[in-house]
Amino acid sequence: MSRLLIERTEAFVRERLDAGDVGHDWQHVDRVRRTAVMLGAAEGADLIVVELAALLHDVADWKFHDGDEFAGSRAATHWLRSQLAAPELVTLVAQIIDEVSFKGAGVQTQPTTLEGQVVQDADRLDAIGAIGIARAFAYGGHKKRALYDPLIPPTPHDSFEAYRQGTGPTINHFHEKLLLLKDRMNTATARQIAASRHRFMEAFLQQFAREWNGEDYRPVCG
């Protein structure tokens, strides 16, 4: 029964996301699902709940629904009820989806269940490292943001509202979110993976600054 529900949910999500908004396409969801199941197995979580919540976690994102932060859990609830899923399962998955998102540097968002913590870790692992860098610039390009502007410093948003309204250059997003994530992983397994992805982003930012400032060019003296 639960395998069938997962397969149906996968088809439902695939169909909804295939059109592909930037950073939240089916490939993101599939990576998060695989990572979440791997983390969940290592941490002893309920893998059915983890896989369902991971599949549904971006089914309706507040960024693309006029800032409605509950659009995602509502859409997931509607879908799971239509599949006659057990009411406790529906409630659990909806709660995980409400708790998963990053809401600003100064906003506490630790999920209350192990399954939620695992899904949040998997989602955040996909926002850092090489893939995270690619997704950040894809999002910035979609929003027509500058790559970098030395005159606009990063903002440590202390409310969801302020984070939501940010329009800074994409490099700022690294300081406002991506570089903070390694210390906010919930599980030991995710912390380990995050460490190397974090180092890769730091190396990228150092090289970006070197190129920006022309420090990677050494004139040959005659």
Candidates 9-17, 71-79, 120-128, 185-193 — which segment interacts with ligand ADP by CB under 6 A? 120-128
Within 26-55, the residues that bind ligand ADP by CB under 6 A are none
* Long-range contact pairs involving 86-92 (C-beta distance under 8 Å, separation at least 24): 89/48, 89/49, 89/52, 92/49, 92/53
Does residue number 25 form part of the binding site for ligand ADP (CB under 6 A)?
Answer: no
CA gap 184, 24 in Å, rounded = 21
Q: What's at 206, amino acid-wise? A: Q
Q: Any residues with CB less than 8 A from the CB of 71 and at least 6 apart, and which? A: 60, 61, 62, 65
Q: HSE (CB half, 13 Å, CA atoms) of 61?
A: 17
Looking at the Cβ atoms of 102 and 160, the one nearer to ligand ADP is: 102
Does residue number 43 form part of the binding site for Ni ion (CB under 5 A)?
Answer: no
Does residue number 102 form part of the binding site for ligand ADP (CB under 6 A)?
Answer: yes
Candidates 47-55, 87-95, 124-132, 199-207 — which segment interacts with ligand ADP by CB under 6 A? 124-132
Looking at the Cβ atoms of 6 and 65, the one nearer to ligand ADP is: 65
Looking at the Cβ atoms of 74 and 209, the one nearer to Ni ion is: 74
Q: Any residues with CB less than 8 A from the CB of 79 and at least 6 apart, and which? A: 9, 12, 56, 59
Does residue number 123 form part of the binding site for ligand ADP (CB under 6 A)?
Answer: yes
CA gap 10, 45 in Å, rounded = 20
Candidates 41-49, 91-99, 165-173, 214-222 — which segment interacts with ligand ADP by CB under 6 A? 165-173
Candidates 41-49, 67-75, 111-119, 121-129 — which segment interacts with ligand ADP by CB under 6 A? 121-129
Contact by Cβ (8 Å): 118, 41: no
Binding site for Ni ion (CB under 5 A): 58, 123
The footprint of ligand ADP (CB under 6 A) covers 23-24, 58, 61, 101-102, 123-124, 127, 132, 135-136, 139-140, 166, 170, 173, 177
